[in-house]
Chain A
Amino acid sequence: MTNKKVKVATVSLAGCFGCHMSFLDLDERLVDLIEHIEFDRSPLTDIEHCSPDCDIGLIEGGVCNSENVHVLREFRKNCKILVAVGACAINGGLPAMRNHISLEDCLNEAYRDGIGVENPQIPNDVELPLLLDKVHPLHEVVKIDYFLPGCPPSADVFWKFLTDLLAGREPSLDYELVHFD
């Protein structure tokens, strides 16, 4: 291991930040980890864009709108190793359960016809990214190098995966660490 810290970027696309919370469950192990890694673009740093020399990109959530696509492509362009973290990144997860309902029906239910909606209108501000017709897992948009299943993957999964990579080993997860739920 060299002295140069490994640059890690993270983002939550169409996710719930549960995977990020699980990452923080590393607790005191974060102190060990921070000896070897530094965070680049991430909700933990508020850095807005990836440096061009990121080593590892951890992506939580699937792709549900145009901004997600841009962010995912930025990560792919700037990270040597791109990792799909959690069920939503891998198969669309809970947000993808809207895929069998038309987008129009989804918007109408949420913003116009739903119970308790006041001042019903479909949000249409130019600042808002357009929703995609369907929610997609990451691998349908860019090449993904590794997948960490789980809803969320446990802190032990992050620990094993990152310490393997930092030690120059091919990451491998024991049976107990692989869960699709």
Chain B
Amino acid sequence: MNNKSIVIDGKTIPFEDGQTIMQAAIAAGVYIPHLCHNPQFTPHGSCKLCTVKVNGRNCSACTFPASEGQNITNVTKELNDDREKITQMLFVEGNHFCPSCEKTGNCNLQAVAYHLGMTDNHFPHFFENREVDASHPDVMIDHNRCIFCTLCVRASQEVDGKNVFAISGRGIDKRLVVNSESGLLKDSGLDATDCAAHICPTGAILIKRTGYKVPIGQRIYDHAHIDTVTLANEGASHDE
């Protein structure tokens, strides 16, 4: 045990060498909004929702190492406004129609939007034409809902020991691709029991025939806030 600490929003938080700000925060019960981060996998630092101010500079909490002397702000109007704008951009870039999505109520994108008090999408919608891949017998991909968080990519590589998913293209042309000759999920090595099939924070990768097992109204975020849920889940996996 050491005595090293950082300060987040005035609260002193202990950390150990090698921990990121996100790891230290979650271990101390401090929620920093995030979508592309999951403590099971190598941090990716791409969604930028976890941007905090470290001694006045913007840093991604999920990748930035904690170190002595850091004075960090997390919950401020400025940062939360930025987070809301980022979330709104995710909503208009894809096609996120919650009432017709199986994931509604269990969706982290939706829950982050709730957390940030987002009630509209602010920006003009892209209404981009994206495909649905329902070729696999047990798993489907609805590209309309992909936010390119790469959780499935990392889960497949790091947990499943496969390499089913990747992100192809750059910027606005970025898209999720499947590692199979046909490009279809059915010809990939994905099994419904794989971690990668269950890790999607939105409704982009779904297990077939399970979508409405839990009725709308009884789902995770219908009543529980994402900060509470995240700290309970991810705090636990940090402790393991």
Contact = CB atoms under 8 A, between A and B. Distances in A.
A148 B119 contact: yes
Contacts of A147: 119-120
Given A149-B119, A176-B223, A179-B222, A100 B129 contact: yes
B98 A87 contact: yes
B149 interface: no
Nearest to A18: B99
Nearest to B120: A147
Contacts of A178: 114, 119
> Chain A's interface: helix, strand, loop or mixed, by majority?
mixed
A119 B132 CA distance: 34
Contacts of A61: none
A57 interface: no
B212 interface: no
A99 interface: yes
Chain B CB within 10 A, most for which of A84, A96, A99, A179: A179
Contacts, number: 67
Given A94-B97, A96-B127, A180 B113 contact: yes
Interface stretch (A2-10, A38-46, A132-140): A132-140
Nearest to B126: A99
Contacts of B95: 97, 100
B124 A140 contact: yes
B87 to A, nearest CB: 12
B97 A140 contact: no
Given A84-B120, A99-B127, A140-B125, A180 B98 contact: yes
Contacts of B99: 87, 93-94, 151, 180-181
15 contacts: A87-B97, A91-B96, A91-B97, A93-B99, A96-B125, A97-B97, A139-B122, A144-B120, A147-B120, A149-B119, A149-B120, A151-B99, A173-B119, A178-B114, A181-B105
Question: 7 closest A-B pairs (Cβ-Cβ)?
Answer: A180-B98, A151-B99, A100-B129, A99-B127, A147-B119, A181-B104, A147-B120
